[in-house]
Structure 1
Amino acid sequence: MKQDTSVELSRSLGLWSALALVIGTVIGSGIFFKQASVLQLTGSTSLALLAWLLGGLITLADGLTLSEIGAQIPHTGGLYQYMNHIYGKFWGFMSGWMQVIVYAPAIVGSIAGYLGLLMVNFFGISSAWKAPIAILAITLIATLNMLQNRYGAMFAIVTTICKLIPIVAIVVFGLFFGHQSGIGETLGSVHQSMGNFGVAVLATIFAYDGWILITNLGGEIKNPERLLPLAIILGISVIILLYLGVTYGIFRSMSAQRIDQLGENATAYFATNAFGVWGGRLINIGIMISILGALNGKIMSFPRIYYAMAHEHQLPFSQWLGRLHRQTQTPVNATLALLGLSAAMILTVDTDRLSELCIFVMYSFYIAAFVGVFILRRRHSGGPKLFRTPGYPVVPLFAILGTGFVVVSELFSDFTGALTSMLVIALGIPLYAYLKRYYRGKENNEVL
């Protein structure tokens, strides 16, 4: 495939594409399986709904805060670029290093592995096919995203519409045909405490995660100063409504005790009971399509970090990773790099555990980005009036406190994992120093 370093990314993504990517990247399988775990942690349907709402409000505060930064720094690479512009190249590199080496391939591998598991169960075939199916899925989606970005965006729109069908079916059935109260039911066997409630909120925050990846495509969104904040805010708002709707629909359709007994199988049981065997199968197909949509959003957005870092000479093989395909104007080489790392992880490591290890560091960088709103306000006090976070400074402070809750929780619940993630990111320090010397020497030689 011919490549040309003078080619630029195509700024062709409109609001609907960006909105579909936000919704499609966030909503995977969690919306169908987490109702029971949140209910078990809180002990009542009312507190479970409150946990989903609070997790959503924290996420919305995050989105409102980061939208202000995204409007001012509408470049390809998202969080990496924000850290780069606010705190300097070293911290930009550190935030990007963790993402490209561990977080991105681990997340892609984890989701693809779960898709493989669902498919072998759905078709009743040997579990030995789980890894091959996972690798085939990411290969097909990566190939699609090597074409013009409009194809990945179109796939996001189609899969988002498809995943809304089972979601709407659950909500409508629960509202109009459910016989439970939906709120006020309790689980007598569960000891309720604010500690449990906090863990439940934490679980919902993880279910809302992924919206930030749309910022990686800042260089390909039309009028990003306006459309990027709009897509983030509308997308998160829609996701909150959908999560609350599905949860309430299931609570209206089954008793709290029954949901507790069924656990992760509650939604599947509900679908079969409400819509028959074929209805249940269609719900399962909808879940798999939902996961494909989430995979597409991640495989479309993550390579933009590789590409952005390569342009700053902050990765090995930067010249290769920083190229765009001449015809499609997409980072084909960066996509291949993500595909290769993800496939290798699927075959060799526990991608679920690896992605969990990154949470502490990734959310720490989120906090740094949110603090950046205050820094940019002082730095650009006389600049153009782009999108401003409503409720400033309360909303950014709420975002910082909410995300800080995640970081502290991870530190106490998985100290070894937090320490491991810090050690992984520390490994990037000598690489940063080496690359800085290498490219500086190369530039000096070219001048000479």
Structure 2
Amino acid sequence: MENGLEKKYGLMTAIAMVIGIVIGSGVFFKAEKVLTATGGNLPQGILAWVIGGIIMVVCAYVFATMATRYEKVNGIVDYAEATIGTNYAYFIGWFMAAIYYPTLTSVLAWVSARYTCVLLGWDIVGPQAMAISGFFLIGSYAMNALSPKLAGKFQVSTTIIKIIPLALMAVVGTIVGLSNGVLVSNFTSGVISNVTTNSPLFTAVVATAFAYEGWIIATSINAELKNAKKNLPLALTFGTIFVALIYILYYTGLAGAVSNSVMMKGGEAGAKLAFSTVFSNAGGTVLFVFVVISCLGTLNGLMMGCTRGFYSLAARDMGPATKVLKCIDENTNMPTNSSILGLLLSGVWLLYFYGANLTPVPWFGPFSFDSSELPIVTIYAMYIPIFLMLMAKEKSLNVFRRFIMPFLAVCACVFMVIAAFYAHGVKTVGCYLIIFAVIMAVGMIINSQKTK
């Protein structure tokens, strides 16, 4: 069963994976939070989306540069190994496999279920939502594990579908908002409610981080991508720029659909309310079905990364049970055992997300944190040493690629880290870092015993 991964994905799948993972739940899930964080100040909310988009594009550009030079098993782990060394590569690989992939995958399973429940008129934190979350999680795993090529085709199809509601709201919502004066009113109304944080812009930018995140997961199919050194950089660059533009335009169109106060009070039904306002109840319902499909497409892309997380370590003879986890099924050409472990951890993090964020009284006390945001900020912090070493080592690159863009990427990452402390508070971030440190220590102990 142990053999290499085949080159089975083309440029369109890679672009679809970048766009498809990023676009989906976040722009709907976090649009309300961005507006609430800024007290209904629409220009400040749009600025948050612009800053978040710039951070994503700058970091993706630097990784695109590295993608033209390094190719092995898993992009981000490859880049860490080439720039810093084996130990740091394992550190990042363990974080991605044990925390990053499963936390985001579990949240996306719930978000997909959340919008399904909104469509059906059910409680988004009730038993229906959690049962659907489990079904979506297992269903996405099954499709990736049993038929990875089908999962790739599903990724391309859902990417096309998910652009439809965003593009329609961006264009029609803006036109309607200009004609009826709602858009102008929302732009000029300023702060219309109490701001619950001292740094509303930082809080809003951190919220956009979830909406913009996922592009790095496209590098997880590096070893399965045809002509990866050419296609992966194209996918990262084109995909992230497209996402940033469509998000900003969608957010503007949303402001033309309903007033800021109505959107802020709409809660989980805010997006559906906006679509129904612009496209009528029937049209809004149809488009909201597309929203649910787009969430499932994002979940599929995350699961594509999640199933390969431990394989990328085992392929380097690192981490636990390497002989077991680097086995490739001869029929599906998938790392089956790695996939099973990824699903298990996703289930664990889904349980944590429910207990920490959806129950009336958090189960974990001070150790309850938003697993949809803080792991994302952590990965930005981990990028910093990679960018610095790229500047130090890659002497063959021109000044723009070697110094200017990596320096801007470092600044962007530092901004995200500082913003996280303002957005979530020192206490919450500190408790998260304790959990992070424990999980990372377990991973380092496992690897150190293996190398003895």
TM over 0.5: yes
User: What value does the CA root-mean-square deviation take over the aligned residues?
Assistant: 2.5
Alignment of 1:114-263 (within 5 A): 114-124=111-121, 127-178=126-177, 179=180, 180-182=182-184, 183-190=187-194, 195-263=199-267
Instruction: Tell me what 2:360 maps to.
Output: none
Q: Does 1:102 align with 2:99?
A: yes
Q: What is the Cα deviation at residue 201 of structure 1?
A: 2.2
1:40/1:187 contact within 8 Å kept: no
Aligned to 1:325: 329
Q: Partners of 1:288 and 1:58 in 2: how far apart?
A: 27
Q: Return the alpha-carbon distance in structure 2 between the equivalents of residues 315 and 269 of structure 1.
A: 47
CA–CA distance in structure 2, aligned partners of residues 355 and 47 of structure 1: 22
Tell me whether 1:16 sits opposite 2:12 in the alignment: yes
Asked if the contact 1:34–1:264 (Cα under 8 Å) also holds between the matched residues in 2, the reply is no
Rate the CA distance shift 1:275–1:354 in 2: closer, same or farther, 3 A. closer
1:289-321 deviations in whole A, cap 9, x for unaligned?
111111111111222231121122212221111
Q: What are the superposed Cα offsets for residues 147-204 of structure 1, whole Å, 9 maximum, x if unpaired?
A: 4543221100111111111112212211332223454442344569993223222222
Give the Cα separation in 1 of the matches to 2:199 and 2:16: 35
Residue 346 of structure 1: aligned partner: 350
Instruction: Say if 1:129 and 1:74 are closer, same or farther in 2 by CA, change over 3 A.
Output: same
Decide whether aligned partners of structure 1 residues 370 and 193 sit closer, same or farther in structure 2, where only a CA change above 3 A counts: same
Residues 303 and 31 of structure 1: is their aligned pair in 2 closer, same or farther, counting only changes over 3 Å?
same
Q: CA deviation at 1:279?
A: 2.2
Q: 2:139 and 2:330 mapped to 1: Cα distance?
A: 21
The amino acid of 2:322's aligned partner reads S
Matched, 1:84 2:104: no
What residue identity is the alignment partner of 1:41? A
| Superposed displacement of residue 18, structure 1 | 0.5
CA distance in 2, matches of 1:187, 1:262: 17
Residues 131 and 174 (structure 1), Cα distance of their counterparts in 2 relative to 1, 3 Å cut: closer
Cα displacement (A) at 1:354: 4.3
Counting only pairs closer than 5 Å after superposition, residues 338-377 of structure 1 correspond to structure 2 as 338-347=342-351, 350=354, 353-354=370-371, 356-377=373-394
How far off its partner does 1:47 sit? 2.4
Partner of 2:365: none
Is it true that 1:397 corresponds to 2:397 in the alignment? no
Query: Which of 412, 415, 432 matches 2:447?
Result: 432
Specify whether residues 140 and 174 from structure 1 end up closer, same or farther in structure 2 by C-alpha distance, changes over 3 A only. same
What is the rounded CA distance, in whole Å, between the counterparts of 2:331 and 2:226 in structure 1? 20
> In the alignment, residue 54 of structure 1 is paired with which amino acid?
I
Report whether the alignment pairs 1:417 with 2:416. Answer: no
CA shift at 1:213, angstroms? 0.5
Distance 2:197 2:399 in 1: 34
Q: Does the Cα contact within 8 Å between 1:74 and 1:225 map onto a contact in 2?
A: yes
Asked if structure 2 preserves the Cα contact closer than 8 Å seen for 1:162 and 1:289, the reply is yes
Contact 2:206 2:373 in 1 (8 A): no
- Aligned match of 1:37: 33
Maintained 8 Å contact 2:104/2:372: yes
Distance in structure 2 (CA, Å) of the matches to 1:111 and 1:154: 19
Which segment drifts farther, 91-100 or 341-350? Answer: 341-350
Does structure 2 retain, via aligned residues, the 8 Å contact 1:76–1:216?
yes
Higher mean Cα deviation, 41-50 or 13-22?
41-50
Taking structure 1 as reference, are residues 248 and 347 closer, same or farther at Cα in structure 2, changes over 3 Å only? closer
User: Number of aligned pairs?
Assistant: 426
Q: Which moved more, 1:221-230 or 1:120-129?
A: 120-129
- Cα distance in 2 for partners of 1:360, 1:36 equals 20
Query: 1:67 — aligned with what?
Result: 64
Closer, same or farther in 2 for the Cα pair 1:121/1:219, shift >3 Å?
same
CA distance in 2, matches of 1:164, 1:120: 21
CA distance in 2 between counterparts of 1:303 and 1:368 reads 26
1:35-79 alpha-carbon deviations (Å, 9 max, x no partner): 333234335322222221121111110011111112211222222
User: Quick one: distance in 1 between partners of 2:216 and 2:442?
Assistant: 25
In structure 2, the gaps of 5 or more residues are 358-369
Distance 1:99 1:175 in 2: 39
In structure 1, runs of 5+ residues without a counterpart are 438-448
Normalised TM-score (structure 2): 0.86
TM-aligned CA distance change 1:283 to 1:136, over 3 Å: same
Look up the equivalent residue of 1:206 and give its one-letter code: F
Tell me the amino acid that sits aligned with residue 81 of structure 1: D
Q: For residue 81 of structure 1, give the secondary structure of its aligned residue in structure 2.
A: helix
CA contact (8 A) 1:360 1:418 kept: no
**1: CA distance, partners of 2:351 / 2:206:** 30
> Which residue identity lines up with residue 30 of structure 2 in the other structure?
K
2:207 counterpart letter in structure 1: A
Query: Do 2:112 and 2:292's aligned partners in 1 also have CA atoms closer than 8 Å?
Result: yes
Deviation by residue 1:368-414 (Cα, 9 ceiling, x = unmatched): 22223213413xx3xxx7xx795652222121111112223334522
- After TM superposition, the structure 1 stretch with the greater mean CA deviation from structure 2, 50-59 or 233-242, is 50-59
Distance 1:333 1:291 in 2: 26
Q: Compared with structure 1, are the counterparts of its residues 47 and 392 closer, same or farther at alpha carbon in structure 2 (3 Å cutoff)? A: farther
> Offset of 1:212 from its aligned partner?
0.4
The residue number in structure 2 matching 1:442 is none
Q: Is the 8 A contact 1:141 1:299 kept in 2?
A: yes
**Offset at residue 286 of structure 1 (A):** 1.7
The 1:318/1:355 distance shift into structure 2, 3 A limit, reads: farther
Q: Which amino acid aligns with 1:403?
A: C
Which of 391, 407, 421 aligns to 2:417? It is 407
Q: Which amino acid aligns with 2:191?
A: L
Measured in 2, the distance between the counterparts of 1:159 and 1:240 equals: 18
User: In structure 2, do the counterparts of structure 1 residues 222 and 347 end up closer, same or farther at CA, with 3 Å as the change threshold?
Assistant: same
- In the superposition, the TM-score normalised over structure 1's length comes to 0.87
